[in-house]
Structure 1
């Protein structure tokens, strides 16, 4: 596959939530603990971004919240809020797309959460989504559940006690997968604020958490949090807002990307302003994800909800420069 867009469809890219599952409480440290994850390359956030696609149509009219790649079966999943549901309900619509942005199918998840981030793990010829569930009164998930994507199905959330809560004392969860280094990053809420924990992907595949690879307090980064991802020894964090007023493009917007060293829990680069898709209408930053092409090129994908009210679209870009 060539290193520039568009992607080739060939080259890019157990339902167990209802069962009663025991989760191990690992406890919370008050401070960030030093980790010893082998240092990897990281994405240079100052380098240009490229289009995956712009203005892809989704099942419903509301804005996307996040997205995730099934890197084996070559599908892209985009989470949006359910049409007609209040923010506090935690009702999501999961859209299945190909890598050109063509809509294929949907699934409704009622009462699951806000959809800031989720993971799509290959499961045979299908996909197992690891997504927050058991939404609280603010519409944020209080546990994690593996859900097999089933086209056209509407699924109610399992109770938190029937899902996974691997971190003792955590009140909210989201997660995102690093398919290159086979790790899962979990962002969770505690009485002292947001924290980050990194596990081997095998912990989620085997439902056995063990000792995390890293655990640290999320560093202070100004702006509205809109997504995160993991690649190797670095976390990537996205902040920003939609264009004000009627969504007409105004300047370069306020979408910023930041990289964080998971060994120290400190900012490595940024915040760096990204101008990807700056001419698109509305342009609200929504979601980050990592993927490596079959040709071996790692990419950090940046998502935006775009379009007009009542017909929001998905636009996704990527950076590929490593340092």
Structure 2
């Protein structure tokens, strides 16, 4: 496939709204660039505060991740669809208000695992950025952008915009920094995970030729349960549900990584957010800025019994 500017921009949109961006436009390997303007970072040692606890979602499985539409005041939570094996990549996207009140849902068939996703407000609508085209293990082989439509089911084969920014990558997820308008992509290639950051405007147009940062993810021990970015730092959460081998206070750790160097800046730092929850499995990170201008790093946890899993969100708000 051609890697020319014409392929990158002018020929992305095809009939019926389907777009498959040129595979791997301008995305090299290693530390391809270090062009993210320096910002402050969240202090992971500071206390966490509740947004809500024990809120039911549309399906009763464990939440996987979440993201905010701060313009339209919507919260979306991803979970595996009821009755569907994880290998199928079938997701349920539940829409909540900011108090955790249920609004509606959307089912996504054959999309992926749901480790992370992003939301882009467009007027009064919310566009989701997710993985899509699940492989045999249930992880998405591309990225997709589409309008959230409550009460509907969307199949991965539908005419939606799809992207595959990096040549040779076999799995993708993404997260949006809504404050600095960046799309952070985590992909699997050559046996390892990598991080690459684009401006959201470039990614939306299908131009992946100018990554702001690109590096192999540094070693972060533990089970990966979510990531996001804010300014010049990415944040990662690892851990497992409470169990006889993982009792209170659990093993949920947070780490920050400098996007301009690809190295760990802080952590792993144990978090006790939601420490009194039953079950308590770490699931998802996201960024939100309040109307008053306070930036927050949100942490998600699943709780409750099997067949009645609940959503819980907490946040940190100290920047240094």
TM-score (ref. length: structure 2)? 0.92
CA contact (8 A) 1:34 1:264 kept: no
Q: Is residue 2:259 matched to residue 1:282?
A: no
CA deviations on 1:186-227 (whole Å, 9 max, x unpaired) are 000001310000001111332322210000000001000000
Cα displacement (A) at 1:85: 0.3
Task: Point out the more displaced range, 266-275 or 33-42.
Answer: 33-42
Q: In structure 1, what is the Cα distance between the partners aligned to 2:127 and 2:188? A: 24
Task: Note closer, same or farther for the CA distance 1:52–1:220 as it changes in structure 2 (3 Å cut).
Answer: same
Give 1:65's aligned residue. Answer: 64
Task: Note closer, same or farther for the CA distance 1:272–1:50 as it changes in structure 2 (3 Å cut).
Answer: same
Q: In structure 2, what is the Cα distance between the partners aligned to 1:35 and 1:160? A: 35
Q: In structure 2, what is the Cα distance between the partners aligned to 1:161 and 1:172? A: 18
Q: In structure 1, what is the Cα distance between the partners aligned to 2:206 and 2:314? A: 33
CA deviations on 1:151-197 (whole Å, 9 max, x unpaired) are 11011103899721011111111000001111110000001310000
Task: Point out the more displaced range, 69-78 or 202-211.
Answer: 202-211
Q: Is residue 2:305 matched to residue 1:308?
A: yes
Q: In structure 1, what is the Cα distance between the partners aligned to 2:103 and 2:158? A: 29
Q: In structure 2, what is the Cα distance between the partners aligned to 1:115 and 1:160? A: 20
CA contact (8 A) 1:197 1:216 kept: yes
Paired residues in the alignment total: 307
Q: In structure 1, what is the Cα distance between the partners aligned to 2:69 and 2:16? A: 19
Give 1:3's aligned residue. Answer: none
After the TM superposition, which parts of structure 1 deviate over 3 Å for at least 4 consecutive aligned residues? 27-30, 159-162
CA contact (8 A) 1:143 1:160 kept: no
Q: Is residue 2:263 matched to residue 1:266?
A: yes
CA contact (8 A) 1:97 1:105 kept: yes
Question: What 5-or-longer segments of structure 1 have no aligned partner?
Answer: 1-13
Task: Note closer, same or farther for the CA distance 1:160–1:174 as it changes in structure 2 (3 Å cut).
Answer: farther
Give 2:5's aligned residue. Answer: none
Q: In structure 1, what is the Cα distance between the partners aligned to 2:261 and 2:140? A: 27
CA contact (8 A) 1:177 1:184 kept: yes
Q: In structure 2, what is the Cα distance between the partners aligned to 1:159 and 1:73? A: 26
Q: In structure 2, what is the Cα distance between the partners aligned to 1:50 and 1:179? A: 21
Q: In structure 1, what is the Cα distance between the partners aligned to 2:221 and 2:159? A: 31
Aligned 1:24-173 pairs, distance under 5 A: 24-26=23-25, 29-158=28-157, 163-173=162-172
CA contact (8 A) 2:63 2:283 kept: yes
Q: In structure 1, what is the Cα distance between the partners aligned to 2:180 and 2:16? A: 26
CA contact (8 A) 1:18 1:163 kept: no
Aligned-partner SS, 1:163: strand
CA contact (8 A) 1:53 1:317 kept: yes
Q: In structure 2, what is the Cα distance between the partners aligned to 1:205 and 1:294? A: 25
Q: In structure 2, what is the Cα distance between the partners aligned to 1:313 and 1:92? A: 16
Q: In structure 1, what is the Cα distance between the partners aligned to 2:129 and 2:142? A: 10
Give 2:179's aligned residue. Answer: 180
Task: Note closer, same or farther for the CA distance 1:51–1:210 as it changes in structure 2 (3 Å cut).
Answer: same
Task: Point out the more displaced range, 158-167 or 35-44.
Answer: 158-167
Cα displacement (A) at 1:34: 4.7
Q: In structure 2, what is the Cα distance between the partners aligned to 1:29 and 1:53? A: 41
Give 2:3's aligned residue. Answer: none
TM-score (ref. length: structure 1)? 0.91
CA contact (8 A) 2:55 2:311 kept: yes
